[in-house]
Amino acid sequence: GAVVSQHPSWVICKSGTSVKIECRSLDFQATTMFWYRQFPKQSLMLMATSNEGSKATYEQGVEKDKFLINHASLTLSTLTVTSAHPEDSSFYICSAVLAGGVVHEQFFGPGTRLTVL
Amino acid sequence: GQQLNQSPQSMFIQEGEDVSMNCTSSSIFNTWLWYKQDPGEGPVLLIALYKAGELTSNGRLTAQFGITRKDSFLNISASIPSDVGIYFCAGQNTNAGKSTFGDGTTLTVKP
């Protein structure tokens, strides 16, 4: 149980285009999902907290107009990288917190590798 | 913001050896977590610690929540090749699941 999927697993796009990444909790409901960014050989940097039915909370330094987050249901959150540039190339990972579960338990997706040409 | 210092940054060990890594913070946390990340994958939770002084095991893994609440360590006994990966510590202070991650320890196990 507690499986989180991400789609796509990898994407290559041209500079200036927008890319949408989906994060789904497959067998549980998640009121909260987190979006992270990870550069090679570095740690996970929290970008934003996504709460179902409300606006996302962004970490300092993360442009909310650049990284649009929508948490439309208890099983789906999306991250849209708008007008992508090469510096947005990274590994994006989401996690979902089990609604009503032990508060710390966030389950991670497998990640999406974005390459912007 | 809060920062976690994780050490060592990398380790190269022989199969069968024991491993120890630790995490320190300048501020306290209420929960300490240890994750393992394989290449191209998301992190997987190994051990969660909720109380200062708590010592918890999961198979060959043992982790402790420091008394000061500012540190934690993870031990792996009798390492095997599949232990290879990046180990992250993470601290939490809220009930919303938001975590601060350490920089990771990359473990390489030679057969």
Q: What is the mean pLDDT of residues B33-57?
A: 93
Residue B96 is predicted with a pLDDT of 67
- DSSP of A26-42: SSS--SEEEEEEE-TTS
Q: Does B42 contact A34 at a Cβ distance shorter than 8 Å?
A: no
Amino acid at B18: D
Contacts of A95 in chain B (CB under 8 A): 42, 97
State whether residue B85 sits within 8 Å of chain A by CB: no
Q: How far apart are CA B13 and CA B69, in angstroms?
A: 29
Q: Does A44 contact B101 at a Cβ distance shorter than 8 Å?
A: yes
**Beta-bridge mates of residue B97:** none
The answer to whether residue B2 scores a pLDDT higher than 70 is: no
The answer to whether residue A102 scores a pLDDT higher than 80 is: no
Q: Does A44 contact B33 at a Cβ distance shorter than 8 Å?
A: no
Backbone angles phi, psi at B83, to 5 degrees: -75, -10
Alpha-carbon dihedral sign for residues A40, A86, A96, A63:
positive
Residue B20 is predicted with a pLDDT of 97
State whether residue B104 sits within 8 Å of chain A by CB: yes
Residue A20 is predicted with a pLDDT of 97
Distance from CA of A84 to the nearest CA of B (A): 21
Q: Which has the closest alpha carbon to A19: A51, A57, A67?
A: A67
pLDDT band, very low/low/confident/very high, at B14 (cuts 50, 70, 90): very high
- Express each pLDDT in A6-29 by its tens digit: 999 999 999 999 999 999 999 998
Residue of A45, A60, A97 with shortest CB distance to B97:
A97
Average pLDDT, chain B: 93
Residue of A32, A103, A109 with shortest CB distance to B42:
A109
Residue of A43, A97, A111 with shortest CB distance to B104:
A43
Residue A54 is predicted with a pLDDT of 86
Q: Which has the closest alpha carbon to A44: B72, B71, B48, B44?
A: B44
Residue of A60, A95, A111 with shortest CB distance to B40:
A111
Core vs surface per residue A78-114: b (16+ CB within 10 A) or e: bbebeebeeebbbbbbbbbbbeeeeebbbbbbbbbeb
- Express each pLDDT in A36-65 by its tens digit: 999 988 899 999 999 888 889 999 999 999
The answer to whether residue A103 scores a pLDDT higher than 60 is: no
Q: Which has the closest alpha carbon to B75: B66, B88, B62, B64?
A: B62
Distance from CA of B87 to the nearest CA of A (A): 10
